[in-house]
Chain A
Amino acid sequence: MLRLPPFRYLAPRTLSEATRLLAEEGPAAMPVAGGTDLLPNMKRRQFTPAALVGLRRLHELKGISGSPEVGVRIGAGETLTSVSTHPLIRTHYPALALAAAAVSTPQLRNAGTIGGNILLDTRCNYYNQTEFWRHSIGYCMKRDGSICLVAPGSPRCWAISSADTVPVLVVLQARVRLVSVRGEREIPIQELFRDDGMRPYTRETDEILSEIWLPPAPGWRSTYLKLRRRGSFDFPILGVAAALRREQDGRIGDVRIALGAVASHPVEAEEAMAHLRGQQPTPALLQEVAALAAKRARPLDNADLTITYRKQLTPVYVRRALDLLLGAEQGSGAK
């Protein structure tokens, strides 16, 4: 049986009490919200925190409010179920509703939070295994070992950013607020990520992700497509988030494309976006854009299905996402 390792549980009542506890306990403490990523990782001994600081009761992390004209604030402690079913999100930021609804299973989404999904630990076939399994293979550098088992000659860890909501929040140009006893900072969500499978976040250990802010979205359409083996449970092995705005004459006013699960961080397809911006979309042009975006994906053999398949599907999914946004239906068609 996979039991949790022992820890002390701390139950702050306010956000400021939570930040104080995290600061006092130091890096050996970890915050827990829904627990749907943290607790399995603890059972596998990927994390062995001395203390958990429970965020569940903090009302400061709750609530979804705003409007498409002024922007929307989402408390980081809102569950993925409430994000995916909220009328404001479904209507005006459909890609985020689709991505939140594509995470794992109903049970996980009822407990797991948007903040927890953003800060999901990076994943790898050689890392997301039990302690017994990892011991047998000699451990990897992300936990208890010194080399990368997927690329043994590599000086770095290639664990994959696997959060469905992350590429979407990148294309929506979301901002996130981090709170600690040292103060608060609000940053563009891209600045939360690092190209490092071992330390994928710029969040300091005493900081709590408290809220996500979505800018106004007049005229924008957005969608999210997810590749995985099964229609449920599975993490993405490719996520394509796209958002665009058209001019009166049909040209592409602006476009943003980001890929998930192709690197240790969400990847923006800058070249592809520049190629499409200001243009009249034609099938040939969209094919070029999809190919350019797919150049940014360099999958390694550390996730489900084969590298070749994941690579081949990347331009197909980018093209499908763009077609969806240029067609009549807004934001539909997620798998």
Chain B
Amino acid sequence: MRELITLRVNGERYEVAVLPHRTLLEVLREDLGLIGTKHGCELGECGACTVLLDGVPVLSCLTLPLEVQGAEITTIEGLEERGRLHPLQEAFAELGAAQCGYCTPGMLLSAAALLRQNPRPTREEIKQALAGNLCRCTGYTKIYEAIEAAARRLSAVHEDERQPDAALQP
């Protein structure tokens, strides 16, 4: 029997009637039309379907929508802010960190969660944070470099924000 539930996705509330055995991945893609979240192995072995649940990376193919009512779900569609790409997205595009692009939404969300917790991660910390996202094209190096570039830009922005007066000086 379908159950009417409310999901909070990328800051918006969605009312959906779901069957209990539908995964969050299926509901996001097939009911909400949010097809940025990719459908990979479906068994927890690739990371393509990674989304953030209250800021924490989890696999939407192994999440039941019934269990995440009330949580804030972030998909790749929610990473941009007011029409501007997230610095991670910009850095991935500029530095060639996406090739076929299939793993990219999951990579970006894992990276975004990392930078929120740890704004200046070491290469090793980046590797650990991405240890659940497979990429078969890039060999990962460009991805690590893009995350490092985005981290530098984000911390530069934050330093500006801490000194608004200085930024106003000519």
Inside 8 A of B59's CB, which chain A residues have their CB?
Answer: 36, 107-108, 111
Report whether A4 and B66 are in contact in the complex, using a CB–CB cutoff of 8 Å: no
B26 nearest in chain A by CB position: A3
Report whether B67 and A56 are in contact in the complex, using a CB–CB cutoff of 8 Å: yes
Report whether A4 and B47 are in contact in the complex, using a CB–CB cutoff of 8 Å: no
Choose one: A9, A40, A232; the contact of B62 (CB below 8 Å): A40
- Flag whether B31 is at the interface (Cβ < 8 A): no
Interface residues of B in 69-97 (CB under 8 A from A): none
- Flag whether A182 is at the interface (Cβ < 8 A): no
Report whether B21 and A6 are in contact in the complex, using a CB–CB cutoff of 8 Å: yes
A232 with B132: in contact, given A4-B21, A107-B59 (CB under 8 Å)? yes
Main secondary structure of the interface of B (DSSP, over half): loop
Main secondary structure of the interface of A (DSSP, over half): loop
Smallest distance from the beta carbon of B130 to chain A beta carbons, Å? 8
Inside 8 A of B23's CB, which chain A residues have their CB?
Answer: 4, 39
Report whether B131 and A110 are in contact in the complex, using a CB–CB cutoff of 8 Å: no
Interface membership of chain B positions 9-26, coded 1 if the CB is closer than 8 angstroms to chain A and 0 otherwise: 000000000011111001
Report whether A111 and B21 are in contact in the complex, using a CB–CB cutoff of 8 Å: no
Report whether B131 and A106 are in contact in the complex, using a CB–CB cutoff of 8 Å: yes
- Flag whether B64 is at the interface (Cβ < 8 A): yes
Report whether A2 and B42 are in contact in the complex, using a CB–CB cutoff of 8 Å: yes
Report whether A110 and B58 are in contact in the complex, using a CB–CB cutoff of 8 Å: yes
B39 nearest in chain A by CB position: A1
- Size class of B's contact patch? 20 to 34
Inside 8 A of B50's CB, which chain A residues have their CB?
Answer: 107
Binding site for A on B (CB under 8 A): 1, 3, 19-23, 26, 39, 42-45, 47, 50, 53, 56-59, 62-64, 66-67, 110, 128-129, 131-132, 134
Binding site for B on A (CB under 8 A): 1-9, 11, 32, 35-36, 39-40, 43-44, 52, 54, 56, 104-108, 110-111, 231-233
Q: List 16 A-B contacts (CB under 8 A).
A: A3-B26, A4-B22, A5-B21, A6-B20, A9-B20, A9-B64, A35-B64, A35-B67, A39-B44, A54-B67, A56-B67, A106-B110, A107-B110, A108-B44, A110-B53, A111-B63
**Shortest beta-carbon contacts, A-B, top 6:** A105-B132, A9-B20, A232-B131, A4-B21, A107-B132, A40-B43
